[in-house]
Amino acid sequence: MKKFLLPAVFAALAMAPCIAPAQSPMSASTYGVGPHGWDYYIGTWTCTNTMPPSAQSGPATVTVKISASNAGAPLFFRATAPSFDESGYVSYSPKTKTWTNPAGYADGSYSFESTTQTGKKTTWSGTYFNAASGTTTHLRDTYDLSPGRYTDLTQMNTGSGWKTTASSTCTKS
């Protein structure tokens, strides 16, 4: 199954122990900056994938709910669709200024991505473990944010170059 979000995105050894404050508009220059840098994502999103549904690309439409975590990591997310269930955290390490995103799937697969980038367009990179095949693949997600919307271009590299496996547009409910 495909790692769908976060922004795919972190298992930090030194998580920021904070709860997100009330939402206020963020400027593009503050996206990804500091322990509340991705509060932009808090809320419910509907994501539509233009790639044909598959084990690699995920479902055609996913509902993603993102909230402030009450246990250390800044954000918790859950992505669901029929026969699809993913959850994870978006955590920040102030020491390294790195965002991490560990995610797990109902089938036993998992992914881990991280970034030190900030701004409205960021690329998160890491690995994806496919429980069905027992293989690990290089993974990257490029997120591009705009008011009430973001796109997520997911690519995997099995050794023969990067191939797009999903291209999603998400809108906030």
Within a domain: residue 1? no
pTM: 0.82
CATH code: domain of residue 143:
2.40.128.20
- Would the CA dihedral through 151, 156, 69, 85 be positive or negative? positive
| pLDDT tens for each residue of the chain, 173 residues long | 444 443 333 222 222 333 333 344 556 668 999 888 999 999 999 999 999 888 778 899 999 999 998 877 789 999 999 999 999 999 999 999 999 999 999 999 999 999 999 999 999 999 999 999 999 999 999 999 999 999 999 999 999 999 999 999 999 99
Within a domain: residue 7? no
Q: How many domains does the chain have?
A: 1
Within a domain: residue 5? no
Within a domain: residue 95? yes
Burial of 38 (0-12, 13-18, 19+ CB in 10 A): buried
Distance CA 129, CA 51 (A): 21
Within a domain: residue 119? yes
Within a domain: residue 8? no
Question: What are the φ/ψ torsions at residue 41 (nearest 5 degrees)?
Answer: -80, -10
Q: Look up the domain containing 75 and give its range.
A: 28-172
Within a domain: residue 80? yes
Within a domain: residue 21? no
